Amino acid sequence: MIQLKERVRLLQKSEFFSPLDPKILLTVAQYSREETCPEGEYIFKAGDPGNCLFILDTGIVSILLQKESGEEEEIARYVEGDSFGELDLITHSHRNAHAKTQTQVTLLRFPHRGVEFSDLLFQHPKVGAQLMWAFLVATAGRIRKSNNLLKENSPWIQELRRQVYRDKLTGLYNRTFLEERLPDYLKDSKRSVSILMVKPDNFKQINDTYGHEAGDRVLVRIASCLNSLADQRWIAVRYMGNELGYILPDTSSQQAREIAHRVQENLSALDISDLTGGASFSLSVSIGIATFPDHSSDPLELISLAHQLPLIGRTRGGNMILFPDEKGDG
């Protein structure tokens, strides 16, 4: 039996599991087992319960549909690092095709025999949530690769996009959208694009005093405010936790600064007394701005630069607007 760290390595090779946090992968690895199958063996057949998925370590596996004539037609082929069977596992469906080895193979089975996926989700709900997210992201990626076969404006595709790219709490676009789609906005170096990140300086006080539910409702209120301020070009996002912001196409650093001042003014005037039991509470926010191509031409670096600045602003007393190349202004 291979060691736990070797199972984690196999998981990291898979498109499905590679985005997950190592701690999540460690739990998944504990519920996985390796199997070896000789050439010509069926791993599963159509009609079998879809109670697990597989990651191929070595060898080749074909997915086969059986025709009315009894002949088998290959519709997909998997090699080292590929995973298969995810959809059946997540949707709790029966297999609709055969999986047959074309060579001797070694693979990782998750969850291993004797463990029900539903039991694992019950015992580890955070792991289950991450697996569902990974499934949506991986599926969306596969759909983008095969968009010649599917209409991009179909209701199913639109719903999948919504689930992958939208934050459930606020309804804003999420971190996945920001990181995956920002490169699309940075293709012309003659057109400035600014990333604006907003983080409340005193949000912890809301959670500590009025509870996390009140904190969540304040985030929704902030998101609504950002949406109301935005023109049709701006894209409001929730990056992580209590950090929200904008992608601002065709926006220079100076223009972004003016927008940041408007955001500060509107959020400081935001009435949240109905969420604080009638107590008066004024939000203070620090804002980080990074502009393409002035501060970076790399999308992830641009996000990182803007993300770091509100924390610096808070340590300097809060209510600040900061740029990577400036000390900031109040």
* pLDDT over threshold 80, residue 236: yes
What pLDDT does 233 receive?
92
What pLDDT does 301 receive?
96
What pLDDT does 172 receive?
92
What pLDDT does 146 receive?
53
DSSP 276: T
Q: Per mean pLDDT, which range of 9-18, 79-88, 153-162, 271-280 is the poorest?
A: 153-162
What pLDDT does 155 receive?
58
Average pLDDT, the chain: 88
What pLDDT does 163 receive?
67
Nearest-angstrom CA–CA distance, 227 and 230: 5
Nearest-angstrom CA–CA distance, 10 and 13: 5
What pLDDT does 330 receive?
47
Nearest-angstrom CA–CA distance, 178 and 183: 9
Helix (H), strand (E), coil (C) string for 64-117: EEECCCCCEEEEEEECCCCEECHHHHHHCCECCCEEEECCCEEEEEECCCCCCH
Nearest-angstrom CA–CA distance, 299 and 222: 25
* pLDDT over threshold 50, residue 149: no
pTM listed for this prediction: 0.55
Judge contact between 7 and 112, C-beta under 8 A: no
* pLDDT over threshold 60, residue 29: yes
What pLDDT does 328 receive?
47
* pLDDT over threshold 60, residue 157: no
**Position 90 confidence tier, pLDDT thresholds 50, 70, 90:** confident
Nearest-angstrom CA–CA distance, 239 and 228: 18
Q: Per mean pLDDT, which range of 117-126, 131-140, 155-164, 283-292 is the poorest?
A: 155-164
Q: Per mean pLDDT, which range of 62-71, 100-109, 159-168, 198-207 is the poorest?
A: 159-168
pLDDT in tens, 210-229: 999 999 999 999 999 999 99
Nearest-angstrom CA–CA distance, 303 and 264: 20
Judge contact between 322 and 313, C-beta under 8 A: yes
Nearest-angstrom CA–CA distance, 99 and 42: 6
What pLDDT does 45 receive?
94
What pLDDT does 327 receive?
52
More confident residue, 279 or 67: 279
* pLDDT over threshold 70, residue 154: no
What does residue 261 show for φ and ψ, rounded to 5 degrees? -65, -40
What pLDDT does 69 receive?
82
**Position 132 confidence tier, pLDDT thresholds 50, 70, 90:** confident
* pLDDT over threshold 80, residue 158: no
Query: What residue ranges define each of the domains in the chain, with the CATH number in brackets?
Result: 4-127 (2.60.120.10), 175-322 (3.30.70.270)
What pLDDT does 142 receive?
62
**Position 93 confidence tier, pLDDT thresholds 50, 70, 90:** confident
Average pLDDT over residues 316-328: 85
**Position 66 confidence tier, pLDDT thresholds 50, 70, 90:** confident
Nearest-angstrom CA–CA distance, 20 and 14: 10
Of 210, 236, 125, 223, nearest in space to 169 by CA = 223
